[in-house]
Amino acid sequence: MAVCVVCGEAKPDAVERVELPLRSVVCTDCLTKAEAEPDVPEQWDVDAGLELVAQAPVEDPRAGVPDVCRYCGAAVLWYETAKRGRPIAIEVHQFPTWQIAPGHRWRVDGNGLAHNLGRANPTDDCNVCHWDACPQRPEPTHSEPLQVLWRNRRRQRFDSDTGDWHMTRGNS
């Protein structure tokens, strides 16, 4: 006696049905019910689905992933570079493009990808890579605003254990 895969009962009329997918073992009662009530695809309420989609919050890909530099504690936003898809830490504030040296100007597009502008000089603001202003790296010599930011951060000491900033004397 075989066991029907639908009802799970051992019945003498449960036999392998070659007309069914995977040649399933099904009893006559279950086969009759399946033939009388075929599977009908569910009717989807498209309007309700569109309403749910409209209410769902959508993340702005240009927002970046907020983080803190593990070396200096400054706030950064992580993006992928458009050219190679590598992660890059971008400063949270922007600078006038004319104050940033060519090759150090970045722009985040609508898809959340960071593009190095190279020598391009748009008339508005641009982003800069955090490594150009991190006080744990050499002082930037190519941009006065980045030098000011670097020096201000250099005067502060970040305690990574407590997450506190402490003022220090001099440039140490």
Domain coordinates in residue numbering, the chain: 1-39, 61-167
Mean pLDDT, residues 141-153 taken together:
88
Q: Which amino acid would we find at residue 18?
A: V
Q: What is the pLDDT of residue 111?
A: 87
The residues with which 76 forms a beta bridge, in sequence order, are 67, 91
Q: pTM of this prediction? A: 0.57
Q: What is the pLDDT of residue 171?
A: 46
Q: Tell me if 131 sits within 8 A of 89, measured CB to CB.
A: yes
Question: N- to C-terminal Cα distance for the chain?
Answer: 87
Sequence-distant (6+) residues with CB within 8 A of 152 are: none
Where is average pLDDT lowest: 106-110, 125-129, 134-138, 158-162?
A: 158-162
Give pLDDT tens digits for 43-96.
777 888 788 878 877 777 778 889 999 888 889 999 999 999 999 999 998 999
Q: How far is 9 from 164, CA to CA, in rounded Å? A: 69
Q: Where are the beta strands (DSSP E) in the chain?
A: 2-3, 10-11, 15-16, 25-26, 65-68, 75-81, 87-91, 95-96, 106-108, 113-116, 125-126, 156-159, 164-167
